[in-house]
């Protein structure tokens, strides 16, 4: 193999990152659908949840780039502003894209509650996954030492 191994590793890293992003979108859509069902007591459907998740992801990327460039000099305060704006825009997208069974929109307060519940569930899922990987890592390292 005469190819550049750095290019191969970069390509593999990009592929793994894209696969991780796709899995993350699918999992967050499930979490968003569950949070919507908890707060609104209506089932939006997995397709709407995926479309809403992709719209939120796109909006967060654009907001992060634009406000990050504008408010980057503020440091932590600028990041906090970006976080709040991301939350508010995500709630607006939930309100507009995830309609109730009858086709009517939910209120903006309910959409904020859905986003807050979804973020809370995501944090809990992340903590559980982190604990599982930490335990597996420690047990692997322990097995390597013996």
Give per-10-residue mean pLDDT for the chain (146 aa): 76 93 95 94 91 96 90 83 94 92 86 96 94 91 82
Range list of H helices, 41-75 = 46-71
pLDDT at residue 1, rounded to an integer: 52
Tell me how far the alpha carbon of residue 87 is from its chain's centroid: 11
Which residue in 24, 27, 44 sits closest to 94, CA to CA?
44
Within 8 A by CB and 6+ apart from 83, the residues are none
pLDDT at residue 31, rounded to an integer: 96
**Is this prediction's pTM over 0.95?**
no
For the chain, which residues make up each domain, given as ranges? 47-146
Rounded Cα–Cα distance for residues 93 and 132 (Å)? 33
């Amino acid at each position: 193999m005469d190819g550049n191994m750095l290019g191969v590793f970069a390509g593999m890293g990009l592929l793994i990152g894209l696969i991780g992003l796709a899995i993350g979108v699918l999992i967050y859509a499930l979490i968003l659908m569950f949070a919507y069902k908890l707060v609104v007591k209506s089932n939006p459907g997995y397709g709407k949840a995926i479309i809403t998740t992709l719209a939120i992801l796109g909006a967060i990327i654009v907001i992060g780039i634009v406000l990050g460039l504008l408010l980057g000099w503020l440091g932590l305060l600028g990041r906090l502003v970006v976080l709040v704006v991301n939350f508010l825009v995500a709630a607006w997208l939930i309100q507009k894209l995830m309609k109730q069974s009858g086709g009517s929109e939910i209120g903006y307060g309910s959409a904020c509650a859905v986003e807050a519940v979804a973020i809370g569930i995501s944090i809990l899922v992340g903590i559980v996954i982190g604990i599982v990987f930490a335990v597996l890592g420690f047990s692997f390292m322990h097995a390597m030492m013996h």
